[in-house]
Amino acid sequence: MDELPIWSGDDVVRVRQHVRVVAAASGLSLVDQTKLVTAASELARNALVHGGGGTARVEVVKSANGKAGVRIGFADDGPGIADIDLALTDGWTSGDGLGLGLSGARRLVDEFELTSKAGRGTSVVVVKWSR
Ligand SMILES: Nc1ncnc2c1ncn2[C@@H]1O[C@H](COP(=O)(O)OP(=O)(O)OP(=O)(O)O)[C@@H](O)[C@H]1O
Ligand SMILES: [Mg+2]
């Protein structure tokens, strides 16, 4: 398991690059690598912009039927998300973004788990499986 900091735009770029390397090594197709990298990029940016910085934990996992996958956990200690359903709505943003990062990321991965409470930070765990 690799833990990467997310405190700057350069860190977001490093998370992207690291996820690409791990996804390729784990045997994800080029298309699936790109989907995971895109999702990771949005979630890392959210941790930075909305969460005030945090970490990404990247690891290779094996499913019960022997498939390889990549799991990434993003965590921040920011203000949290009061209404998760609203945050996951296409086009909803609390700022001046497009409001497509969270909803788009969810569509690009196989598993998506968002845990957050107002005032308690945000955790998003995603998994992409090889097929
Ligand atoms: N880590 C986080 N901490 C706190 N709030 C968050 C976090 N991630 C997302 N949110 C909230 O959910 C909303 C939707 O996130 P989403 O990524 O979809 O849109 P955005 O970041 O505003 O714009 P963009 O389309 O540029 O990503 C954000 O505007 C923000 O209010
Ligand atoms: Mg976003």
| Nearest ligand to residue 95 Cα | 1
Closest to 98 (Cα-Cα) out of 46, 54, 53, 52? 46
Mutate to test the pocket of ligand 1, among 41, 90, 94 (most ligand atoms within 8 A of CB): 94
Is the pLDDT reported for residue 127 higher than 90? yes
CA of 56 to the centre of ligand 2 (A): 15
What per-residue confidence (pLDDT) applies to 6? 98
**Span 25-51, pLDDT tens digits:** 999 999 999 999 999 999 999 999 999
Q: What does the pLDDT look like over 60-103, one tens digit per residue?
A: 999 999 999 999 999 999 999 999 999 999 999 999 999 999 99
| Residues contacting residue 66 through CB under 8 Å, at least 6 positions apart | none
Q: Find the ligand nearest to 91 CA.
A: 1
Q: How high is the pLDDT of residue 32?
A: 98
Q: What spacing in Å lies between the alpha carbon of 5 and ligand 1's midpoint?
A: 19
Measure the CA–CA gap between 60 and 66, rounded to whole angstroms. Answer: 12
- From the CB of 75, is ligand 1 less than 6 Å away? no
Continuous segment of H or E residues that includes residue 3:
strand 2-6
Predicted pLDDT of residue 117: 85
Phi first, then psi, for residue 25 (nearest 5°) are -65, -30
